[in-house]
Amino acid sequence: MAETMKAALIEAHGDSSNIAIKEVPIPKIGDNDVLIKVKYCSLNRLDIFVRKGSPALKIPLPHVSGSDFVGVIEKTGNNVINVSVGDWVVVNAVWYCNRCERCLQGEQSLCDEFKMIGEHLWGGFAQFAKVPARNVIKIPDYVDPKAVATLGLTTLTAWRMLKSKAKLKPGDVVVIPGAGGGLSTSAIQISKLLGATVIAITSTERKEKHVKSLGADYVINYKSNPEWAKEVKKITGGKGADIVFESVGEATWKQSLRSLKKGGKLVTAGATTGFNGQTNIGAIFWFQLEILGSTMANMQEFREAMSLIFTGKIKPIIDRIYPLEKLAEAEDYLDEGNHIGKILIEIS
């Protein structure tokens, strides 16, 4: 095996021109690690956030992002028994200490030393990646690895948000702003799988058709209905939604809260349009609303989410596939917001 690999390096924070494809040393693994020959890595908004930089994110540069990847085991550490060389695997990007109180309770995404592969640690936009063996699950032979790469992070995130945090039950009404992207693609399918009525909020006729094809019961165009919470109330007979699935942030936050019924829940795992959402505190206590935060998933939820993918209960939606050499172009396309489903990076 060659001692170097091709990787997409973030050499400075800023626009996509700061991404360079270069040769770097292949990572050295420890006794409890595996070395993965990366085949596919899907893009997430997180990758753009990491590349642009933030005062809250202090990482050494150059950096390799990419949290959502699958590949083939190239090498295993001396203590590894759960996978073997040649196995196709999917990675849970949550790095955890396995020592703190939260880890011992099985809540790895709340670890005191929480890090993410691809954000704080080098990730999958490279020919090889080093990860702890505990973070991988073997992909069955009958499953398309591209589907797993497309659905991995979004499915585990949406599963925790809806099942574990919001405790979605059959008959609930779920509102999904920003429908059309990767996370909402998984959220719509999981909501329908769990027996909910889905109201999708989106912007174009193309995206309206897309979310309907995924099972959305109602679609509201926020450009023609900027106060779309009123439409949600009409659809629900004046009551409002049981759950709002939020990942858009500032641009939708006010309407998301307004669309909830009394005792409703807003669960959020992102803020792609900004972090300063307008909140009417009076409405929170008067209507006894709940605002729930969620990040990634614990290992049990990861396994449950992968089972949904392996059994075909959640279907992949791939917008485009780019080679690693065109990662900058792919990130610019994602940033434009015109995609439907996921953007996949193929690594030769």
The predicted model gives 106-120 an average pLDDT of 96
pLDDT category of residue 43 using cuts at 50, 70 and 90: very high
Report strand pairing: 290-293 vs 260-268: parallel
Return the ∠ at Cα 277 (arms to 178 and 239), rounded to 5°.
Answer: 65
Task: Write down the pLDDT at residue 2.
Answer: 63
d(Cα 55, Cα 49) in Å, to the nearest integer? 11
Rounded distance, CA 48 to CA 15, Å? 9
Q: Is 233 helix (H, G, I), strand (E, B) or coil?
A: helix
pLDDT of residue 83: 96
- Rounded to an integer, what distance in angstroms lies between the CA atom of residue 151 and that of residue 42? 9
Q: How large a percentage of the chain has pLDDT more than 90? A: 91
Among the residue ranges 59-63, 88-92, 272-276, the one predicted with the least confidence is: 272-276
Say whether pLDDT at 228 is over 80: yes
pTM: 0.93
Q: Supply the mean pLDDT for the chain.
A: 95
SS (H, E, C) 294-308: CCCCCHHHHHHHHHH
Distances (CA, A) of 301 to 155, 202, 311: 10, 28, 15
Domain segments of the chain as ranges: 4-144+316-346, 155-293
Quick one: average pLDDT of 143-171?
96
Helix (H) or strand (E) holding 89: strand 88-91
The yes/no answer on whether domain 4-144+316-346 falls in CATH 3.90.180.10 is yes
Class of the CATH domain delimited by 155-293:
alpha beta
Which pLDDT value is given to residue 272? Answer: 86
Say if residue 53 is exposed, middle or buried (CB neighbours under 10 Å; 0-12, 13-18, 19+): middle
Buried b (16+ CB within 10 A) or exposed e, 170-180: eebbbbbbbbb
pLDDT at 60 over 90: yes
Rounded Cα–Cα distance for residues 101 and 107 (Å)? 9
Residue 187: beta bridge partners?
none
- Looking at residues 259-275, what average pLDDT do you find? 94
> Residues 254-269: what's their mean pLDDT?
97
| Element containing residue 262 per DSSP (H, E) | strand 260-268
What is the rounded average pLDDT of the residues 48-53?
94
- Is residue 338's pLDDT more than 60? yes
Q: Are 126 and 62 in contact (CB under 8 A)?
A: no
pLDDT, position 1: 53
Residues in CB range of 306: below 8 A, 6 or more apart: 90, 137, 148, 152, 155, 156
Residue 273 scores a pLDDT above 90: no
The domains spanning 4-144+316-346 and 155-293 adopt the same CATH topology: yes
Report the percent of the chain where pLDDT is more than 70. Answer: 99
Q: Where does the pLDDT of residue 82 fall: very low under 50, low under 70, confident under 90, or very high at 90 and above?
A: very high
